[in-house]
């Protein structure tokens, strides 16, 4: 197979999925740091290394006040990302090494690497660490995600065989998708053999069965890439400390900051007996069999506590990103499920249902009822982790960003009905999930159609133009009358349940 000379072993034969990730929205990063007792830097400038299709970068640049720069060496990604950002961010197609050698970059308050560290060569990791050392401002923060071995143990050997099959036995003339699918089928055939290794790894069969439900491009990048190095948390922490003077601050994902979601009481007790934060975190990974970590590291962390911490937290304003009645009272993570305690959550959710509210007000109301600051913060983390609440930006920022988000949303809506499922909100400075049929309704409204029948007809016509049809229970609806009736119901549900929120978020 012809491979381009610039790929450095990375899978570049197919473009990466057009996903949006909310974990490094600047206000979420700042709240995570502050609530874990760290001073949070102002995030004026940020950089994403390996931005993929650039959807997260484009939404962040349009919707928030942070100035974004990024690089991804795949020129197809760069073309797509450049068209999306349309001048709102600096987007390069440099390799990490080329980018690191540039002399026209600013110092960054935040550098983000999502889905990079475990999938690049050792040489590239060194380039990245050196870049962090030279380009991260003092006091700045790094968001980094990577695979950790615990949760991969069960399928690491299967992945190895899959890679071998893909390289040497899949039919190269059949095209990439067919090759990936045949590799998945090969993995499934291994399960049927009742192999000794799989008997010793009872989780593997489930993981293999799930492969065919995943986007085949994701499987290609995650399972069949040249480089694939899960790392223990302690090793990543040591590498970043030694090479870039970074200290671990906290997990980036809010649910990973709430032990009760993933650990038993005994496990929490054992973790509590350990003083070293690195060892504690490693034990948590072990206990909940983690396969992937998202972490925040600081270059020069400074502690904040007591009144100053409370004042800083009180500066955030929250809003509900879903209907009050849709907030589930149960939470499940890593095999554990728990009920949200009504005494803690109901007052917060009821207040949020009435409109945006300052974190300071939520803390004070709870304290008046004997609920501690820690319990309030934990509840907010749970809701943030489920993306049921977001942080509201200042009025002036919202007004300033609205033209850019409107323009970006029009560009994103060019893909309505395809695999791009997020639009930008200037209110929360972030992406908002909007499913593909709803996007077709929004596109129709932008074109001046507002009646139920007009929206339904527009959506049906758009689907038909793309060779698609409405589905029911996974099956295409072939009868046009049935399809129209169903589409009208979807429009009515959208207008009643979803549109009001999208308007409050100024997505529309």
Ligand X SMILES: C[S@@+](CC[C@H](N)C(=O)[O-])C[C@H]1O[C@@H](n2cnc3c(N)ncnc32)[C@H](O)[C@@H]1O
Return d(Cα 47, Cα 57) in angstroms, integer: 9
Closest CA to 381 of 249, 251, 248, 292: 251
User: Is 223 a binder of ligand X (CB under 6 A)?
Assistant: no
User: Is 27 a binder of ligand X (CB under 6 A)?
Assistant: no
User: Is 74 a binder of ligand X (CB under 6 A)?
Assistant: yes
Question: Which stretch in 24-32, 116-124, 239-247, 403-411 sits in contact with ligand X by CB under 6 A?
Answer: 116-124
**Minimum CB distance to ligand X smaller for 72 or for 388:** 72
User: Is 120 a binder of ligand X (CB under 6 A)?
Assistant: yes
State how far Cα 182 lies from the chain centre: 29
State how far Cα 423 lies from the chain centre: 14
Shortest distance (Å) from residue 214 CB to ligand X: 13
Question: Which stretch in 5-13, 34-42, 434-442, 494-502 sits in contact with ligand X by CB under 6 A?
Answer: 5-13
User: Is 96 a binder of ligand X (CB under 6 A)?
Assistant: yes
Contact (CB, 8 A) for 111 and 135 = yes
Shortest distance (Å) from residue 221 CB to ligand X: 5
Contacts of 211 (CB under 8 A, 6+ apart): 184, 187, 188, 219, 223
Among 28, 30, 77, 299, binds ligand X (CB under 6 A): 77
User: Is 72 a binder of ligand X (CB under 6 A)?
Assistant: yes
User: Is 51 a binder of ligand X (CB under 6 A)?
Assistant: yes
**Minimum CB distance to ligand X smaller for 19 or for 256:** 19
Closest CA to 348 of 305, 378, 386: 378
Shortest distance (Å) from residue 96 CB to ligand X: 4
**Minimum CB distance to ligand X smaller for 8 or for 235:** 8
Shortest distance (Å) from residue 416 CB to ligand X: 20
Return d(Cα 252, Cα 31) in angstroms, integer: 10
Question: Which stretch in 113-121, 275-283, 405-413, 442-450 sits in contact with ligand X by CB under 6 A?
Answer: 113-121
Closest CA to 385 of 234, 201, 262: 262
Shortest distance (Å) from residue 473 CB to ligand X: 31
Question: Which stretch in 48-56, 134-142, 184-192, 352-360 sits in contact with ligand X by CB under 6 A?
Answer: 48-56
Shortest distance (Å) from residue 296 CB to ligand X: 16
Shortest distance (Å) from residue 425 CB to ligand X: 20
Question: What is residue 18's three-state secondary structure?
Answer: coil
User: Is 68 a binder of ligand X (CB under 6 A)?
Assistant: no
**Minimum CB distance to ligand X smaller for 77 or for 401:** 77
Write the DSSP assignment of 329-378 as a string of letters: SEEEETTEEEEPPHHHHHHHHHHHHTS-EEHHHHHHHHHHTT--HHHHHH
Return d(Cα 413, Cα 263) in angstroms, integer: 42
Q: Which of residues 125-154 bind ligand X (CB under 6 A)?
A: none
Number of residues located near ligand X, criterion CB under 6 A? 22
Closest CA to 172 of 8, 10, 13, 6: 13
Shortest distance (Å) from residue 119 CB to ligand X: 6
Provide the β-strand partners of residue 141.
110, 298
Q: How are strands ordered across the β-sheet holding 357-358?
A: 357-358, 317-320, 389-391
Return d(Cα 427, Cα 402) in angstroms, integer: 8
User: Is 73 a binder of ligand X (CB under 6 A)?
Assistant: yes
Q: Which of residues 475-494 bind ligand X (CB under 6 A)?
A: none
Task: Note the residues at the interface with ligand X (CB under 6 A).
Answer: 8, 10, 12, 16, 19, 50-52, 71-74, 77, 95-96, 114-116, 119-120, 124, 221
């Amino acid at each position: 197979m012809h491979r381009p000379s610039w790929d450095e072993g990375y899978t570049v034969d197919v473009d990466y999925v057009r996903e949006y990730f909310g974990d490094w929205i600047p206000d979420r990063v700042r709240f995570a740091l502050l609530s874990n007792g760290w001073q949070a830097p102002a995030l004026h400038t940020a950089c994403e290394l390996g931005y993929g299709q650039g959807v997260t970068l484009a939404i962040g640049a349009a919707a928030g006040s942070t100035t974004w720069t990024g690089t991804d060496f795949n020129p197809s990604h760069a073309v797509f990302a450049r068209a999306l950002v349309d001048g709102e961010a600096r987007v390069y197609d440099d390799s990490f090494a080329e980018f690191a050698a540039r002399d026209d970059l600013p110092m960054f308050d935040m550098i983000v690497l999502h889905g990079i560290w475990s999938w690049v060569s050792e040489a590239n990791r060194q380039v990245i660490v050196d870049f962090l050392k030279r380009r991260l401002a003092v006091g700045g923060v790094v968001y980094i995600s990577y695979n950790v071995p615990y949760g991969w143990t069960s399928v690491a050997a299967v992945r190895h065989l899959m890679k071998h099959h893909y390289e040497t036995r899949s039919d190269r003339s059949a095209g990439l998708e067919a090759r990936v699918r045949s590799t998945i089928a090969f993995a499934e055939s291994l399960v049927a053999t009742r192999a000794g290794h799989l008997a010793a790894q009872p989780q593997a069969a489930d993981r293999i069965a799930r492969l065919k439900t995943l986007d085949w491009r994701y499987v290609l990048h995650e399972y069949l890439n040249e480089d694939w190095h899960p790392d223990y948390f302690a090793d990543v922490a040591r590498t970043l400390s030694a090479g870039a003077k970074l200290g671990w601050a906290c997990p980036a994902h809010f649910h990973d900051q709430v032990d009760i979601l993933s650990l038993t009481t005994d496990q929490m007790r054992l973790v509590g007996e350990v003083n070293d934060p690195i060892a504690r975190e490693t034990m948590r990974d072990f206990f909940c069999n983690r396969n992937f970590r998202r972490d925040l590291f600081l270059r020069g962390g400074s502690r904040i506590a007591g009144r100053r911490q409370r004042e800083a937290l009180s500066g955030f304003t929250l809003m509900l990103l879903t209907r009050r009645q849709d907030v589930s009272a149960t939470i499940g993570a890593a095999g554990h499920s728990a009920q949200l305690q009504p005494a803690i959550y109901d007052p917060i959710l009821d207040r949020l249902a009435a409109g945006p509210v300052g974190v300071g007000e939520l803390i004070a109301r709870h304290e008046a009822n004997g609920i501690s600051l820690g319990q309030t913060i934990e509840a907010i983390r749970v809701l943030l982790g489920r993306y049921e609440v977001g942080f509201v930006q200042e009025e002036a920022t919202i007004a300033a960003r609205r033209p850019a988000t409107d323009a970006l949303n029009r560009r994103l809506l060019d893909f309505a009905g395809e695999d791009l499922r997020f639009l930008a909100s200037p209110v929360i400075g972030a992406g908002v999930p909007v499913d593909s049929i709803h996007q077709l309704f929004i596109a129709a409204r932008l074109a001046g159609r507002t009646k139920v029948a007009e929206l339904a007809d527009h959506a049906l016509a758009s689907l038909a133009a793309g060779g698609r049809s409405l589905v029911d229970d996974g099956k295409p609806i072939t009868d046009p009358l049935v399809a129209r009736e169903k589409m009208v119901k979807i429009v009515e549900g959208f207008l009643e349940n979803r549109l009001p929120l999208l308007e409050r978020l100024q997505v529309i």
